Amino acid sequence: MDVTSDTGDAVRVRGVSKVFNRGAANQVDALVDIDLTVHRGEFVSLIGPSGCGKSTLLRLIADLTEPTAGELIVNGKSAHQARLDQDYGMAFQQSGLFDWRTVERNIELPLELKGWDKARRRARSAEMLNLVKLPEFASHMPWQLSGGMQQRVAIARALAAHPQLLLMDEPFGALDEMTREHMQAELLRICSETGTTVVFVTHSIPEAVYLADRVVVMSPRPGRITATVDVGLGRDRSELTREASEFFDRVTEVREALRGTHVGDAVSGIDDR
């Protein structure tokens, strides 16, 4: 792979496969021959029924697990190096905040591990709290915050080191619908302010379309990409966007792409709201 010809793609996935329990009776082909490119500043959603490998793909990009075949280039380096260099931030479905730390000390965690001094850390966490609009909660404890607020802190933490890439695994999955829509708007605002590239895994079709520039549709057994839908709604989205006819058209397009993906016989888990 010629790294110097990399014109600034955030993520390049080439021929990646991931097999669990290879050779055993319970072998699972989680991913087969995946090719995907995510450009800098792009927002890409991964959607598909359970078992399609979208979370596995995210974890491969994050170097939390290794591919059986193929390669992943993140920020112009191997995924492994990118993780060691802390080139990305990650958010999960559980906020994963540390109960024993205040909100601001939670945000400072990645900075602590990088060896930043206290003053610098404190300044950065204050900045991030402003970004997610929670400045008054710096000294609060996580359990004093609502679910949505905890996820905002988790996002602030993920962006604390100003990474260029944000990897998100259904971060709003545990929230109710109204909070979810609000968080989606917040996420878009934050990403436009910071210019971060985002790879976002979700079960929800409206969420995937509302947030992304591109929706990547995947299907299971074996896990692969079956379709890509360009959303083309522009970067300036608001609550009105959810009611626009183009939005519904894209949602329909994604839904139909999913229908061709064994949704019927898998335990689907697709959110069609």
Partner 1 sequence: MSTATRTRGSLAIVLPPVVFGVLFLALWQAWVEIANVKPFVIPKPTAIMQSLFEDPGLVTKACVVTGVNALVGLMGGAILGFIGAVLTNRFRLVADLVNPLAVTVAAVPAVVIVGVLNNMYALDSQIGRRIMVTIAVFFIVFVQVTKGLQHNDATQMELMQSYAATPRQVLAKVRVPNTMPFLFTAIRTAAPIAVIIALVSEYFGGTQDGLGTKISSTLNGSNKALGFAYVVGGSIVGLLFFAGSSLLEYLVVPWQRRRVHG
Concatenating the DSSP letter of every residue in 108-172 gives THHHHHHT--HHHHHHHHHHHHHHTT-GGGTTS-GGGS-HHHHHHHHHHHHHTT--SEEEEESTT
Please answer whether residues 125 and 140 qualify as being in contact, where contact means their C-beta atoms are separated by less than 8 angstroms.
no
Nearer to partner 1, 49 or 148 (CB): 148
Interacting stretch for partner 1, rule CB under 8 A, among 29-37, 105-113, 116-124, 240-248? 105-113
- Which 3 state secondary structure label does DSSP give 64? coil
Please count the residues of this chain forming the interface with partner 1, following the rule CB under 8 A.
30
> Cβ of residue 190: shortest distance to partner 1, in angstroms?
18
Binding to partner 1 by residue 228, rule CB under 8 A? no
SS3 (DSSP) at 273: coil
Nearer to partner 1, 13 or 215 (CB): 13
Nearer CB in complex with partner 1: 68/102: 102
Nearest distance from C-beta of residue 84 to partner 1, angstroms: 5
From 68, 94, 194, 226, residue interacting with partner 1 (rule: CB under 8 A): 94
Q: Is 116 in the site for partner 1 (CB under 8 A)?
A: no
**Near partner 1 by CB under 8 A: residue from 27, 86, 130, 252:** 86
Check binding of 68 to partner 1 (CB under 8 A).
Answer: no
Measured CA to CA, the distance from residue 246 to residue 110 in angstroms comes to 40
| Contacts (CB under 8 A) with partner 1, residues 137-166 | 141-143, 145-147, 149-151
For the segment 44-63, give every residue that binds partner 1 (CB under 8 A): 62
Length of the chain: 273
What are phi and psi for residue 158, nearest 5 degrees? -65, -30
> Which tokens in the block code for residue 46?
């991964």
Query: From the CB of residue 120, how many other CB atoms can be counted at a distance below 10 Å?
Result: 11
Q: How far is CA 22 from CA 19, 27, 29, 30, in A?
A: 6, 5, 9, 11
User: Which stretches of the chain bind partner 1, using CB under 8 A?
Assistant: 62, 64, 83-84, 86, 88, 90, 92-100, 109-110, 112-113, 141-143, 145-147, 149-151, 174
